[in-house]
Structure 1
């Protein structure tokens, strides 16, 4: 999975470069520090030899040097004025003055031989193993900063990569937060130059989708508009047939024909409403009393609710003013109540609430129906989707129209099932911007007949 991630690939690549560069740098640093430590120890031997050559008296045959770290194990061997004594001393007499590495008494040593003006000679010796151990320790200490720097660089690299990919994450978040019908172009002003071709491609795709959607909307609106005339003519002909003497079978067939034409006419009106509200937000809308419009729609639907045996009424109602087209607002409320009436069983109830909450005017509708299946909740606003348990002669466009109206008004809509002991039903909550400082001189009345767009 890491190799499929651009961020993972970049991190692995840079980590490999850091580790390789750190390893190579550490190796070179270790070798350099080791050589420097060896040269420093040679300098110490030379300084000791200079002091002994010009200022010190003869010492015993083998004497540790006072004032030098005992761990260094630097010793002085007085050789006298002629070869004498131990075999090692006679061996040293055969060497010329200066620094050399040789074996003394079976052990590798670093030697400095010097002669005094009086003809006496001495040797300053240090075991090679000791020198290498000291040089290794100093070189290892030089590696500690590099070893600590590598994980720090890896952490910084991860942070830089993550920060560099933030514009991509923000772009993805903006796209995910968009509404399904929001096809506006993505801005490129504040985006990194590397993302400009990608954003340009997305904008081109959005433009093509917008053109295709516009063509579909125009086709649906034109088709629905053209079909309304013949459907209306057929309805008139059906009404004329009712005045003729028909058999019982003929009247039953005529009733079926009129029912089918009524459903077709209702579907065409819904398609026209959907196409109209999908065109986007209108300009400056008038100030409308939400509570008054809701009262008028409830008054219009009350006879149907009584016929179905459903208790329809207000639970709470407060004066609320919003900017909206009167017909659109009434259509939104009617569609929601129409759906509630269709699914609420006889003896059930539908409660409306209109109240203010902060800067929002809230419309809430609760019914005692079966609610919506969880599997259908994500698709409930899709056009023509009627869920897993459709009821009545609905077209599946009502909630789609409601959502378009709410979005055009700059509001939000939320649907949830009512849960609790012995409770069932659906709760729909619509929030619109409330005009808090509105000074209305009178309430606008809803039209006598609100389009049946459920």
Structure 2
């Protein structure tokens, strides 16, 4: 079943508002265009009416030439024809070849004359008829030229409004983006409440709900952590007593039962190591106390970790050492860095066959200090790599372990906002490259 496509809320808002603005702009532009054409037509009609009235009232009709030169008048100009009751032909005309309809009613008329459309205003007065006409084509050109000018503001403003919409929506959602980044930064050791300051009213109930969920989740995780810690503490004492009793009992075990008794002792020791790992995990998951942080020399931590496992490595013929040690420091609890590194080194020793090699190195890059542990073990199936930091997960059930070592590493790294990763070697040899990174300090 295909998953529904997740679309950006910002893009949806911007698109919807831009479409709305565009529709309003088009409607407004068309309306302005039509109104402008109508207004221009009315203005041209007024011009015809005023021209006719003035010709009659001021006697200018008498001053028109009786026989004007034919075809001398520009076609964009108006045509004037004056009729008198006792004369069949035009008394005065600026274009005698144009036969305007003398019997037209007073007022405006649009009709065809001489094969083209004319707009004619007829003024009927006692003894005289004054007609003023203009080509409809010329009127249309004039009206269209003026009306198009009204579209320019819309053509310019609509893109500007699009830009304004984009900026306004981006600014309005900037707070949500910051909240998203804040939520993404939250992990099991940092349950920080989201601030509702400056959050839109519609989003505030959602933020409050998230905060309540965080509160319940923090309580649940704290309860789980406390249970693990308490259980480990409670189990450690009887297991220690059981180990002492077993050690005291060993001389009294019959020779034939020594092998089975050693298995019992081994099981007790495994249980003790598991409880110790559970305690470390509970401490790694606990909230960080700022007053415990110090400037930690990473090189010293690496040297101490190597020295701790060196006897085991020598016994199995494993070559362990450091090939590159950059001077670097981090601000942390030194014990935490040591536990994380020792878990990585212990894993490398456990999975590296006798006679193999384990190399440690320290690099400083991009403001972080990286500690790498490279072994020559069998590596891990690529399909299992995403699960290596899960609690109680073991990539190889044939090798003894609790499945908590890498979980403790991940918890410590998360505690300091660092990073941890595990990958197979890509240099032609089998093995694992395990690395942890923390923010560097001067």
Task: Check conservation: 2:119, 2:135, Cα contact below 8 A.
Answer: yes
Task: Check conservation: 2:292, 2:333, Cα contact below 8 A.
Answer: no
Give the whole-Å Cα distance in 2 for the aligned partners of 1:20 and 1:335: 65
Shift of 1:391: 5.2
Give 1:111's aligned residue.
120
Equivalent residue in structure 1 for 2:264, among 236, 257, 266: 257
Equivalent residue in structure 2 for 1:166, among 151, 174, 178: 174
Q: Which runs of 5+ in 2 are unaligned?
A: 91-96
Matched, 1:383 2:391: yes
Pair 280,109 (structure 1): closer, same or farther in 2 beyond 3 Å: same
Give the whole-Å Cα distance in 1 for the aligned partners of 2:21 and 2:356: 71
SS where residue 387 of structure 2 aligns?
Answer: coil
Give the whole-Å Cα distance in 2 for the aligned partners of 1:90 and 1:333: 109
Equivalent residue in structure 2 for 1:36, among 39, 43, 53: 39
Matched, 1:219 2:223: no
Matched, 1:404 2:411: yes
Larger displacement relative to structure 2 (399-408 or 207-216): 399-408
Q: Following superposition of structure 1 onto structure 2, how do residues 298-337 of structure 1 map, counting pairs within 5 Å?
A: 298-317=306-325, 324-337=332-345
Pair 371,191 (structure 1): closer, same or farther in 2 beyond 3 Å: farther
Pair 320,73 (structure 1): closer, same or farther in 2 beyond 3 Å: closer
Q: Which runs of 5+ in 1 are unaligned?
A: 437-454
TM-score w.r.t. the length of structure 1 is 0.79
Shift of 1:92: 4.5
Give 2:400's aligned residue.
393
Task: Check conservation: 2:186, 2:192, Cα contact below 8 A.
Answer: no
Pair 207,395 (structure 1): closer, same or farther in 2 beyond 3 Å: same
Give the whole-Å Cα distance in 1 for the aligned partners of 2:210 and 2:117: 75
Count of residues in correspondence between the two structures: 428
Give 2:275's aligned residue.
268
Pair 13,421 (structure 1): closer, same or farther in 2 beyond 3 Å: closer
Give 1:237's aligned residue.
245
Pair 394,192 (structure 1): closer, same or farther in 2 beyond 3 Å: same
Pair 10,63 (structure 1): closer, same or farther in 2 beyond 3 Å: farther
Give the whole-Å Cα distance in 2 for the aligned partners of 1:62 and 1:349: 115
Give 1:49's aligned residue.
52
Pair 132,331 (structure 1): closer, same or farther in 2 beyond 3 Å: closer
Give the whole-Å Cα distance in 1 for the aligned partners of 2:410 and 2:51: 95
CA RMSD of aligned residues (A): 3.7
Shift of 1:128: 4.1
Equivalent residue in structure 1 for 2:83, among 79, 83, 86: 79
Pair 76,169 (structure 1): closer, same or farther in 2 beyond 3 Å: same
